[in-house]
Chain A
Amino acid sequence: MMNALNEAAVKNSNLADLYYQMRRVRTFEERVGELFVRGQSAGSMLHLSIGEESAAVGVCANMRDGDTFTTHHRGHGIFLARGADPARMMAEIAGKEAGYCHGKGGSMHIADMGLGHLGANAIVGGGIPAVVGAGLAARNRKTGGVSLAFFGDGATGQGILYESMNMAALWKLPVMFVCINNQYGMGTRIDQATANPRLHERAEAFGLAARTVDGLAVEDVADAAAELIAGARAGQPGFLVIDCYRFYGHARKDKSPYRDDIEEAEGRKKDPVLSARNKLISSGMMDESTLDRVDAEIATEMDATIDFSIAEKEPQLNSMFRDVYAPGEPEPEPVRARLERILARE
């Protein structure tokens, strides 16, 4: 998939690579929307991260093998940027057996222990304290790993965030908090939800190393993340706020009646993918036709994820009772089986 990119032999391969990763996230999310329109997604609880690609890509570019992370419900881009297979992701979003969680998790509960993904979460703030524990485990087991919690500005309304920040700072854990401030918790704008929207100040109050960065420039996000992750690895937990704009509604069906067209048009000008693309062209690092080929290759790759997810099979019905408890433990008795047993009369 990197052919067109490699041919370009650019001098700033870093920005080119960050662009490539962001374009993959953007295109994947567009295909998730398409899967829904085609009636092939499992439900409509699909939260797209279009407009927020620099957060996922800029931070994940600084993670290593052995690092762990949790995400919020808008986490497709983060998982993909960390190395997920988009076809297996799409199959999970479609509720298929071939998905990462065999169709039991879906968009909001996708996870992969192999990549250190301790899970996406459908409870706002729900995945945050797990990274404190994972950081504790990394410290006690001396793995050298860092654990990162990705969440939105909406989670700054949850007490669990502050409990977790306090513990991470108190115990000097290799932990980092990544707040993707897309300006909206569902339909409520950040200034309607808090009197002080300078979110990094809260982290400073807890003794964390904190920064806010404009998500328009992915290389700025990557630089800030590099500094904070290095600090976290050395025992100074960090907090990074990435300012961006959620281009579309909260979930797939939300048409954003709570904000007007002018605001949306203005917000969508903060496009990190387009910004990186223009920078590659204007600086002479890559030309437009090469970038068109890169984009086309990615489109082909992501189109295939839709075909794959549609072609794959549903989970077996009897898998329903599996994995409530560990393998080897008795599975819960199905209602029908119980009824047949207790109502059997000689």
Chain B
Amino acid sequence: MTMIETTYRDALRLALTETMRADENVIIMGEEVGRYGGAYGVTKGLIEEFGEDRVIDTPISEPAIIGSAVGAAMAGLRPVAELMYVDFIGMTMDQLANQAAKIRYMFGGQIGVPMVLRTQGGTGRSAGAQHSQSLEAYVMHTPGLRLAMPSTVEDAYHLLRQALMQPDPVVFIEHKGLYTMKGTLDTDAEPAAWGKARVMREGADLVIVSYSRQIHHALAAADTLASEDGIQAAVIDLRTLNPLDFDTIRPLVEQAGRAMVVSEGVMTSGVAAELAARITEECFDFLEDPVVRVAGEDIPISVSPLLEQNSVPTPELITEAVRMMLK
């Protein structure tokens, strides 16, 4: 057993390092991934170990970064293309949604595109409207793309290692607010299977379904509710949004009869909307209350820390929402 105290950022780097050591076809390409070490430091030091042919600093050309990763994946490499901010995904959408996502299908199953698009999103650094978004719904709305969003140090490592074994393109969205988070990582532990959600907290009164950084807000809210209100909320971390593990959600919601979905992305037509619709359809006969969405406000993100923090769900808002539901 190899237990290490590490951070979300270092766990990501460890996953990349180990995978690159084991498979010389794995390459990293993106803006500032080499000499600079990555905008958030995830790829620091990798160019020294693996060289410029495998850790490739690119021009500022997001469409061609993703597009060339598509071609490299088709021609036998396993590229990790880094998009510095998920906010830039619109630049790449043709290569991602029209090419990477559809190649296996359009070509009748002849070939897949085993690439990982690593990026990060979310609020927390006063980075403004174009560097703080949660755009996972764009990805989830496109069949053919897998989508992983780790919330813990363990998943930063294990989910990224698993993403690098997938036969299909994976969009891997980290949260910029989690990079310095500390945690214990057991690199030898059998990780939760790819595509399986994880019950982070048991609770009989309601089920909170969430992912990425909002897991921590949901857990904080659940602690407050337990100590101050005697309410027991279960918290499910989806880990991957595609595949989506409804089998873990269903029995818990049927048991509790109440469900809440928490997401940092804006509410309208978002991931929370999809999850709420599914829970309503699948668990209708068991529900005591409407399935509630606690999601990002339908507004852009401000630079002002006060406005920014209140644009997305806070532990306080989640706590209040549960109290309103159960009063």
* Residues of A participating in the B interface, judged by any CB pair closer than 8 Å: 68, 70, 99-105, 109, 111-113, 118-119, 121, 123, 126-141, 147, 159-160, 163-164, 166-167, 170-171, 322-327, 329-330, 332, 338, 342
Contact = CB atoms under 8 A, between A and B. Distances in A.
B58 interface: yes
Contact of B75 (A126, A137, A338): A137
A283 to B, nearest CB: 41
Contacts of A327: 109
A338 B246 CA distance: 13
A104 B61 contact: no
B239 to A, nearest CB: 17
Contact of A132 (B67, B112, B281): B67
Contacts of A100: 107-108
24 contacts: A70-B71, A105-B107, A109-B107, A118-B74, A123-B94, A126-B98, A126-B99, A129-B66, A129-B95, A130-B67, A130-B68, A130-B71, A131-B71, A132-B64, A133-B75, A134-B71, A140-B27, A147-B71, A160-B67, A324-B144, A325-B144, A329-B168, A330-B243, A332-B143
Given A129-B67, A136-B68, A164-B68, A112 B110 contact: yes
Given A132-B64, A329-B168, A113 B59 contact: no
B198 interface: no
A342 B99 contact: no
B71 A163 contact: no
B110 A167 contact: no
B74 A105 contact: no
Contact of B106 (A105, A130, A133): A105
B103 interface: yes
Contact of B110 (A111, A159, A329): A111
B220 interface: no
A133 B77 contact: yes
Interface residues of B, number: 46
A14 B111 CA distance: 35
B63 interface: yes
Contacts of A130: 67-68, 70-71, 74, 99
B168 A167 contact: no
Contacts of B104: 323-326
Contacts of B282: 342
Contacts of B70: 129-130, 133
Contact of A113 (B25, B61, B99, B110): B110
B71 to A, nearest CB: 3
B105 A324 contact: yes
A241 to B, nearest CB: 21
Contacts of A131: 71
B196 interface: no
